[in-house]
Structure 1
Amino acid sequence: MSESMNVAAKKIADKMIADADKLKLIASTLSNGTLVIDCGVNAKGSIKGGELFTKVCLGGICDVGISIPGDLSDIMAMPAVKVKTDFPALTTLGSQKAGWKIEVDDYFAMASGPAQTHKFKNDEIYAMTNYKEDSDIAVITLEANKLPDEKVAQFIADECGVKTDNLTILVAPTASLVGSIQISGRALEVGIYKMYEVMGFDVTKITYAAGITPITPVDPDNLKAMGKTNDAIIFGGRTYYYIEPDEGESLEELATNLPSSSSENYGKSFLEFFEEADGDFYKIPKEVFAPAQVIVNDMVTGEMFHTGSIDLERLKKSFEVKEVKFL
């Protein structure tokens, strides 16, 4: 990787600031020099803003787009987030994964983005992918209901080992348009996370990956929004993984056990899991997070394994779809 993910993400963030009015975002600078981009707290946000936010989450080295419509069946079609990456393990586990829980006084956020390459620089994923962060800037995305202040920014900068005026923070609540888009853009991530954390698979063998997930309807209730956005992936996410296995290694078992429906707990909504975990997102069983449908292409043998399926009825129940019939 010739370019730092933080540098790539910073270019996107700077473009978001330059086009803030058009993207319905609000950019500001804290007294300590940290740039803050409000993508949904006080700002309205936008579809394009959600696309760019998702791209920043992935470290800027990927393709993110919106498909309109994203067909799920012949009776319901919705806009969907499309993600493609040639660096699957690095962009998802090394940047997009919400692996950092920010807690400063009464401020709470789930953090993603390439700033994690500073915070978790000794994480195995960077050694596996031969990535080393050599920039002195940090770009972080926060899923939070409030904007960070100077104290929060100082904490993040200190943890990353950068100056506060070299820090850029993007913020979007779960209950916002940008929040809905960026979470729906995580289907690839949860599949790769399950391969790595639950199944013990060498994710560096994934050469290319692509995914598409319906954009969750925006719900003003943060708890319900959290449930709907995660259900979008569990019941409606479709992912494609191009893998180069070792000689003689079959990918059939991997594919069989990867979709959400392979879990013995399949069928519960995300909110049910959340309640069972006493409201702690990080205590939810890891195998719960998985895309609904998976296609695995063995690039050595040419075989393709297709597992799982879109669960339209559970998706419609989660989204509280009310079908209106003409008289």
Structure 2
Amino acid sequence: MNTDAPRLNRENSPSPDLCRSAVRCFDELWDAAPRMNCDRVTIGGARVLDAGVNRLGSLEAGVGLARLCMGDFADISYSANDSLDVVDLSVSVRTDHPVKACLAGQYAGWPVSVDDFFAMASGPMRMLRGKEAMLEHLELARRATEDDFAVGVLEADRLPTEEVIQTIANECGVTTHRLCLAIAPSTSLAGSAQVVARSVETALHKLHALDFDVTAVVSAHGNAPLPPPAKDGDTIQGIGRTNDAMLYGARVTLWVDADDDAIADVAAKVPGESSDDHGKPFAQIFKQYDYDFYKVDPMLFSPAVVTMHSLRSGKSWRHGRLMPDVLRESFSL
């Protein structure tokens, strides 16, 4: 055996595995749609799983959407919330492929805008589109092959039109028949769950924004409280509650293969309290910036508490704090 052969030991290799795993996951959810109180519709040749637009969806569908976002490269489950006297259920995420699952898949880095349709898009199909600076920087973007399916999740309150489907397929470099989408609004049960399953993703994205080498994060775990769904049609309340679950209730642990100095330089900056906007319900912050995400301080979008364990020295860093009072106000409890 040639022990000198190069080995892929970093998470940023542009492997097709995420896309292939995602389509297997989609097929499983498609078959289970009736049990999950979801609809199966075909639009312009693409399969679309409706988990909250014209159907109520379910807790199971929320886990399914989160799995799709992460290309099924993570274990996602519900667990008892034992640290906050606010709600009883949390969404827990564990992955040994954090960069692929969270940044190549889960990050909602694609605003889909066609005529009067708008959605935030997540999932491995973003790799095939490859137009985000972060994907290029981490060398996660790649061209679609003839065997690829483009799989993604849309956060939107109505189903896409055929024109939207064609636009998404074109950007991913696939035919519409090889496009698989799941959709739910943030005001739905499934939509709320898949958004608050982003605890690890927000920590990694913050680390990347702080110029930390995120490929040094080997494994990760996170959990965040599942908020009550916002009332029907109140998108701002839905966005506010899911963001507050992250900002004031999420806890993330990262196992990191890096020098202590590199970890110490960023650890205190990762939690959301490093932003001046921290401490108020997100709906109030959002209104302050005229409901424009791009005006909000990007350093705000982070978990409440972040712990980083060094795999080299055994030292740990823990920063941030939970703020249940803000959650009670946001969740109307």
Do both share a fold (TM > 0.5)? yes
Distance between the aligned counterparts of 1:282 and 1:27, measured in 2?
34
Is 1:192 equivalent to 2:204 in the alignment?
A: yes
What letter matches 2:242 in structure 1?
Answer: T
1:71 maps onto 2:82 in alignment: yes
Cα distance per residue 1:55-85 (max 9 Å; x no partner): 1111221111111x21123x44421111111
Contact 1:143-1:171 within 8 A present in 2 as well? yes
Partner of 1:181: 193
For structure 2, the residue ranges without an aligned partner over 5 or more in a row are: 1-12
Contact 2:281/2:329, CA 8 A, preserved across alignment: no
Does residue 41 of the first structure (1) align with residue 46 of the second (2)?
A: no
Query: Which aligned segments of 4 or more residues in structure 1 are displaced greater than 4 angstroms?
Result: 121-124, 129-135
Name the structure 2 match of 1:58.
Answer: 70
- For 1:194 and 1:316, the matched residues in 2 are separated by 25
SS of 1:153's partner is helix
Number of equivalences: 316
1:19 equivalent in structure 2: 32
Distance 2:310 2:106 in 1: 25
Counterpart of 1:88 in structure 2 is 98
How far did 1:209 drift?
A: 0.7
1:294 aligns with 2:306: yes
Which residue of structure 1 aligns with residue 284 of structure 2?
272
Correspondence for 1:205: 216
In 1, distance between residues paired with 2:290 and 2:72? 34
CA distance in structure 2 between the aligned counterparts of 1:126 and 1:207, rounded to whole angstroms:
20
Could you say if the C-alpha distance between residues 191 and 122 of structure 1 is closer, same or farther in structure 2, counting changes exceeding 3 Å?
Answer: closer
Partner of 1:7: 20
Contact 1:66 1:82 in 2 (8 A): yes
Aligned partner of 2:4 in structure 1 is: none
Percent identity between matched residues is: 34
Q: CA deviation at 1:305?
A: 1.2
Partners of 1:315 and 1:129 lie apart in 2 by 37
Aligned alpha-carbon RMSD (Å): 1.8
Cα displacement (A) at 1:131: 7.1
The secondary structure found in structure 2 opposite 1:249 is helix
Counterpart secondary structure, 1:241: strand
Q: Which amino acid aligns with 1:217?
A: P
Query: Would the aligned equivalents of 1:36 and 1:168 in 2 still touch at CA under 8 Å?
Result: yes
Classify 1:39/1:130 alpha carbon distance in 2 versus 1 (closer, same or farther; 3 Å): closer
Check whether the contact 1:90–1:125 (CA below 8 A) recurs between aligned residues: no
| Separation in structure 2 between the aligned mates of residue 277 and residue 77 of structure 1, nearest angstrom | 28
1:157 partner letter: A
Rounded to whole Å, the distance in 2 between the matches of 1:177 and 1:95 is 21
Report the counterpart of residue 9 of structure 2 in structure 1.
none
What's the TM-score once normalised by structure 1's chain length?
Answer: 0.91
- CA offsets, 1:190-215, max 9 Å, x none? 11111111x11110110111100011
Q: Conserved in 2, the CA contact under 8 Å of 1:90 and 1:129?
A: no
Counterpart-to-counterpart distance in 1, 2:218 and 2:141: 15
Q: Which of the residues 124, 133, 142 maps onto 1:114?
A: 124
| 8 Å contact kept, 2:281–2:327 | no
Provide Cα deviations, 1:211-233, integer angstroms capped at 9, x if missing partner: 00011111122211110110000
Aligned counterparts of 2:153 and 2:175: Cα–Cα separation in 1 = 17
Asked whether 1:104 is paired with 2:148, we answer no
Matched residues in 1 for 2:18 and 2:177: separation? 18
Residue 284 of structure 1, CA deviation: 1.9
1:241 alignment partner in structure 2: 254
- Residue 239 of structure 2 is matched in structure 1 by 226
Report the AA paired with residue 150 of structure 1.
E
2:266 maps to 254
